[in-house]
Structure 1
Amino acid sequence: MRAIVVEELGGPEQLHIAQLPAPEPGPGEIRVDITAAGVNFMDTGARRLGAATGELPFVPGVEGAGRISALGPDVTEFAVGDRVAWVYAYGSYAEQIVLPAADAVPVPGDIPDDVAASLMMQGITAHHFVTEAADIQPGQTAVVHAAAGGLGQKLTQLIKTRGGTVIGIVSSAQKADTARRAGADHIVLSTGAAFVAPVLDLTGGEGVHVVFDGGGETTFRASMSVLRRHGLLLYYGAVLGAAPVINMRELPRSIKISYPVFRDHIPTREALLRHSTDLFDLVRNKNLDPGIGHRYPLDAAAQAHRDIESRATTGKLLLLP
């Protein structure tokens, strides 16, 4: 099978296409012929810093969708030919992958593979953010950083389905149009901390209930400053650099800070199935557009990484083996 392999850590040039032996599933595992694999910003961190496995070489990518081509012993939930999607299984930048059957989600017949793949990492993240980590309520106002990105668009749409108001932060007029189409009520063009004054103006100086901040250190303190009393800063920008060290006494207005870890989104198989089922229903009912921004052939993985790191992209990026 063909796969993208990282043999040395570094820039996008370290993503090489290679021919590898077809993997064979062991007990409790399935082999999937991949039709779409998601590209995430965390993949660039793995390429630069190493995968969670700590091994070199490795095949990057942690989410995708496809059709089961082989079953390992003791797999009873699936059959060969079933369509499935998954998240957090390294090796997804490839034509085939072996993963635990317990990590796979059945894909309904009316959900295309590319849509399913685009929902697994960013969709589950956004769904957990707005339903559990922040629990958006009707009438609340939220700031969404990078509102034109794949995660930002999904956050915006899900906040709107729960009756919230969205102030979308974007870095260009082109991205403003994308964020507005996703449903953002207000658009603020900003880089760094320039969004503070406009957000406070929009809220009459009171601030917002929640800030969803994936911007890293450059926006962390500014995000704190636009929260109202007891507001929540939901921070997920560690891949862009460590957050500042904060003295607890520096926290203004009794705000709360959360750093939601992906494994806490889906701590059990039941949670994985619940989030994914809800997301498929939202797509089916046209309450959620997966927002696929660009599709690349597998051997263009390096270009996909260059594009996502340039911050010029909008929506979800996919590799199609």
Structure 2
Amino acid sequence: MTKAILVHEVGGPEVMHLEEITLPPPGEAEVLVRNRAIGVNFIDTYFRQGHYKAPSLPFVPGNEAAGEILALGPGVTQFKIGDRVAYVSALGGYAEERIVPADRLVKLPKSISYETAAAMMLKGLTAQYLLRQTFKVKKGHVILVHAAAGGVGLLLCQWANALGAEVIGTVGSDEKAKLAKKAGAKHVILYREEDFVARVQELTRGKLCDVVYDGVGKATFPGSLDCLAPLGMFVSFGSASGPIEAFDIGLLASKGSLFATRPTLNTYTARPKNYAKMAKDLFRVVKDGTVKIAVHEVAPLADAVRVHQALQARETTGATVLVP
């Protein structure tokens, strides 16, 4: 028997309950992992509320964690019992132990703690594909990062700054503005007090941005398009304020032959070789100090309800980690 957070019906944070479950032994190409630290992400709230549909009910939320291997299924040769590992995988993360496909695991360097790994796998790999694959940020680029003090936002600010880009971030409070600036944002816009489009035009002297990274969604669209220079790219990777509704694709033409994309981490990590390469790149920038992982809070797994309440109230910055 092991303990896990179960969701029997979709709804508010209160639908999550800590219960005992029984796991089968790992099957072909599977591994049993004891989670030492579990990452919390905004996408967890989407599944819990039913905005994203879980394969079945009840389900265990959570997509990332770090821990050690307890048992190997048939055919697993790349790992051994006791290996330190981290992963981004299907639902099932909010648990003391879980079964994970072996090709979703990466070996965790000794220099990176379980808490840091759990806080950075989903958000860090998201930052990796956004900056290094969806749009290859280079020295001299001007980029706009919405929710710059959020989990992904802080990583984007740090990494893009290290790549030589000029980072403009939007945030909701003075406290978050300080965090974004510390992380590498050259300019910070308080979106509740300022018109972010007008401010971007002012800051760039009308030249606008090469790329906009938008994890907010409805509240920042279509304003984000007005922040882009001709041939710029709008990257929508989340919808914290609600999804962007269908729009006239002609907008992209009228606003400067823009590009728009809605990437997902699952697509970029679908091939194990690319997944491993992305993780290696992420571990490199964390180990050399280019990117620092801000763990906002380490809370017991049993506190998942309170943690989700704080997350949805926008009371958190950086990352929150649950510990079984």
TM-score range, shorter chain: over 0.9
Q: Distance between the aligned counterparts of 1:193 and 1:302, measured in 2?
A: 33
Matched letter for residue 194 of structure 1: D
Deviation digits for residues 40-81 of structure 1 (CA, Å, limit 9, x no counterpart): 111001001076542001111010000001111111111110
Deviation digits for residues 233-272 of structure 1 (CA, Å, limit 9, x no counterpart): 1012246422132212222111111111222221311111
1:167 paired to 2:147: no
Cα offset, 1:284, TM superposition: 1.0
Q: Distance between the aligned counterparts of 2:29 and 2:268, measured in 1?
A: 23
Deviation digits for residues 162-218 of structure 1 (CA, Å, limit 9, x no counterpart): 110100110000101111111111111113982111111000012111110111111
Runs of 4+ aligned residues of structure 1 deviating over 4 Å after TM superposition are 50-53
Matched letter for residue 79 of structure 1: K
For the 8 Å contact 2:65–2:93, the answer to whether it is kept is yes
Partner of 1:271: 274
Q: Give the stretch that moved more between structures: 245-254 or 116-125.
A: 245-254
Q: Distance between the aligned counterparts of 1:50 and 1:7, measured in 2?
A: 15
Partner of 1:186: 187
Pairwise CA RMSD: 1.4
1:294 to 281, 294, 297: 297
Q: Distance between the aligned counterparts of 1:43 and 1:300, measured in 2?
A: 14
- The 3-state SS of whatever aligns with 1:56 is coil
Compared with structure 1, are the counterparts of its residues 92 and 278 closer, same or farther at alpha carbon in structure 2 (3 Å cutoff)? same
Q: Which runs of 5+ in 2 are unaligned?
A: none
For the 8 Å contact 2:37–2:67, the answer to whether it is kept is yes
For the 8 Å contact 1:211–1:223, the answer to whether it is kept is yes
Q: Distance between the aligned counterparts of 1:51 and 1:222, measured in 2?
A: 25
- Correspondence 1:135-284 to 2 at 5 A: 135-191=136-192, 194-238=195-239, 240-251=241-252, 252-284=255-287
Partner of 2:68: 67
For the 8 Å contact 1:295–1:318, the answer to whether it is kept is yes
What is the total number of aligned residue pairs between the two structures? 321
For the 8 Å contact 1:45–1:239, the answer to whether it is kept is no
- The 3-state SS of whatever aligns with 1:131 is helix
Compared with structure 1, are the counterparts of its residues 192 and 236 closer, same or farther at alpha carbon in structure 2 (3 Å cutoff)? farther
1:285 paired to 2:288: yes
Q: Give the stretch that moved more between structures: 18-27 or 98-107.
A: 18-27
Partner of 1:318: 321
For the 8 Å contact 1:62–1:88, the answer to whether it is kept is yes
Matched letter for residue 244 of structure 1: E
Q: Distance between the aligned counterparts of 1:238 and 1:169, measured in 2?
A: 15
Q: Give the stretch that moved more between structures: 232-241 or 152-161.
A: 232-241
Give me the TM-score of the superposition, normalised by structure 2: 0.96
For the 8 Å contact 2:216–2:241, the answer to whether it is kept is yes
Partner of 2:80: 79
For the 8 Å contact 1:59–1:92, the answer to whether it is kept is yes
For the 8 Å contact 1:35–1:65, the answer to whether it is kept is yes
Q: Distance between the aligned counterparts of 1:124 and 1:117, measured in 2?
A: 12
**Aligned-pair identity (%):** 38
Partner of 1:308: 311
Q: Which runs of 5+ in 1 are unaligned?
A: none
Cα offset, 1:93, TM superposition: 0.2
- The 3-state SS of whatever aligns with 1:204 is coil
Partner of 2:14: 13
Compared with structure 1, are the counterparts of its residues 57 and 279 closer, same or farther at alpha carbon in structure 2 (3 Å cutoff)? same
Compared with structure 1, are the counterparts of its residues 55 and 93 closer, same or farther at alpha carbon in structure 2 (3 Å cutoff)? same
Q: Distance between the aligned counterparts of 2:226 and 2:193, measured in 1?
A: 13
Q: Distance between the aligned counterparts of 1:113 and 1:51, measured in 2?
A: 28
Give me the TM-score of the superposition, normalised by structure 1: 0.97
Cα offset, 1:157, TM superposition: 1.1
- Correspondence 1:40-51 to 2 at 5 A: 40-49=41-50
